[in-house]
Structure 1
Amino acid sequence: MMIYPTIELQNGHCVSLRRGRLDDPQIWHVDPVAKAKSYAEDGAEWLHLTNFDWVAGNDGTAEIVKDIILQCGIPVQLGGGFRSLEAIANWIDMGAGRIVVSSLAVQNPDLVKQAAKRFPDQIVIAVDVYKGGLMSDGWRSTAAITPADFIAAFDEDPLAAILITDIDSDIEESDGSLGVISGLADGARAPVIARGLSRSLDDIARLKYVPHISGAVIGRALFDKSIDLCDALAVANARPGPTAEFI
């Protein structure tokens, strides 16, 4: 299972959001570029990067995003309020390995399908689920379409992955979250990346055996040191040991 260490940016800082609120960030006092490089040095194969300034509608932090893409040494999966095909193409041209789209896929699925055909295996759609509904607009609006039908609408498109977040779990621990994500993953044709379920090494150990889930995004737990990245990578890539033969 692929581990995607995560950096979330706002106003030049590494942050984690409380309950998804842009006005209530938890700030981590580390250098974003140095942090990205450290993840690569620890053995990560991908970095997940979100720029909340773009989500809020301004162009701040773009230079830091460029520096991370050019300097971190591993491919970057980049998200943050992409609103046009031109913006997607621009950041792929600047070196982003993948682009994550969320509200754009809900509001203009045809444009996202066009992007997937133009950039096969480089577009990731984010599926944010709250109380069984599909959320958009930064978790502020509930879409008319169900999460399962939304995923199915992209079955024929060459997506790189589907990033599924159960917001109930992101807000507070939810015993049902693994079931929500694994149920949606069952019906997805593209690889599924789970977000919001990795608070401990035990979570990763459980998640790696869930069918159809190919990766996990880990953010806050790496910053507050609940999880060490090297340990997470070791658990995610561990091979089952030999089993005894019964006579």
Structure 2
Amino acid sequence: MILYPAIDLKDGQCVRLLRGEMSAATVFGDDPAAQALKFQDAGCQWLHLVDLNGAFAGAPVNGAAVEAILKAIKVPTQLGGGIRDMATIAMWLEKGLSRVILGTVAVENPALVREAARAFPGQVAVGIDARKGFVATKGWAEETNVQATDLARSFEDAGVAAIIYTDIDRDGAMGGPNIEATEALARAVSIPVIASGGVSRMADLHALKATGVIAGAISGRALYDGAIDLTEALKALA
């Protein structure tokens, strides 16, 4: 199971939100590229980036910070937030991203996800953010009547590289991930599923890995707070 350290970008800074609330942002640093280098030096295999402003704006906002990170590090990097058309997907992949994450458009324009997955094999992931099992879009501001499992199943034949499943109510709350829901989703589809939201201690990582079906886990606040030591966690998961 791969551990993805998370860098959430708001106004050019590294932050963590509480349950997706932009007004509940804790700033952890104003040099995202330096933070990315710290994660790389600790031995991470991947990095997970989110353009939080972009998720609300529907277009990239923290592009300069993302580009600085891509220039600073060598490990593969995935990005979500504000990526809603083919031009933006192509732009980010050309700039060196290894994978784009499509969230809102997966609900609103699933044909785009299919087109992108065909055009860029292995480089397109779907972000499914759910509250009580139902998908939320536009930076989690809008709730839908689409069930997370149904959305995931609809992309079974699309060739997407991964599904990043976030339980919004757990995100940034340091209360542990929703292992039951994440495992159920991973068992419902053949696409690799990455867990996000609430991963706050080593026991969470061990529990996710023990399911045998969850391909990865994203952690942010716990790494910044020191609740999880990244080097130790990477060794344990290896």
The answer as to whether partners of 1:168 and 1:177 remain within 8 angstroms in 2 is: no
TM-score, normalised by the number of residues in structure 2: 0.94
The amino acid of 1:11's aligned partner reads D
How far apart in 2 are the matches of 1:143 and 1:53? 21
Following superposition, the deviation at residue 143 of structure 1 comes to 2.1
RMSD: 1.7
User: Which residue matches 2:27?
Assistant: 27
The answer as to whether partners of 1:168 and 1:174 remain within 8 angstroms in 2 is: no
Which stretches of structure 1, 4 residues or longer, exceed 6 Å deviation after superposition?
Answer: 173-176
How far apart in 1 are the matches of 2:86 and 2:177? 36
User: Which residue matches 1:202?
Assistant: 203
* 1:74-93 matched pairs, under 5 angstroms: 74-93=75-94
User: Which residue matches 1:8?
Assistant: 8
Does the C-alpha gap of structure 1 residues 60 and 82 become closer, same or farther in structure 2, counting only changes over 3 Å?
closer
Cα deviation, 1:114-141, whole Å, max 9, x if unaligned, reads 0011011111101112112121122222
Does the C-alpha gap of structure 1 residues 221 and 172 become closer, same or farther in structure 2, counting only changes over 3 Å?
closer
Overall identity of the aligned pairs, in %: 35
User: Which residue matches 1:44?
Assistant: 44
User: Which residue matches 1:241?
Assistant: none
Cα deviation, 1:126-180, whole Å, max 9, x if unaligned, reads 1112112121122222223211111110000111110011122226466782111
The answer to which of 49-58 and 100-109 deviates more is: 49-58
The answer to which of 103-112 and 144-153 deviates more is: 144-153
Does the C-alpha gap of structure 1 residues 46 and 186 become closer, same or farther in structure 2, counting only changes over 3 Å?
same
User: Which residue matches 1:71?
Assistant: 72
How far apart in 2 are the matches of 1:76 and 1:188? 24
User: Which residue matches 1:141?
Assistant: 142
Does the C-alpha gap of structure 1 residues 53 and 168 become closer, same or farther in structure 2, counting only changes over 3 Å?
closer
Greater Rg over alpha carbons, structure: 1
The answer to which of 198-207 and 166-175 deviates more is: 166-175
Secondary structure at the counterpart of residue 23 of structure 2:
coil
Following superposition, the deviation at residue 197 of structure 1 comes to 3.8
The answer as to whether partners of 1:33 and 1:71 remain within 8 angstroms in 2 is: yes
How far apart in 2 are the matches of 1:172 and 1:23? 14
The answer as to whether partners of 1:11 and 1:53 remain within 8 angstroms in 2 is: yes
Does the C-alpha gap of structure 1 residues 15 and 199 become closer, same or farther in structure 2, counting only changes over 3 Å?
same
The answer as to whether partners of 2:5 and 2:44 remain within 8 angstroms in 1 is: yes
Give the length in aligned residue pairs: 237
How far apart in 1 are the matches of 2:24 and 2:149? 31
The structure with the largest strand share of the pair is 2
The amino acid of 2:83's aligned partner reads F
Does the C-alpha gap of structure 1 residues 23 and 175 become closer, same or farther in structure 2, counting only changes over 3 Å?
closer
Secondary structure at the counterpart of residue 95 of structure 1:
coil
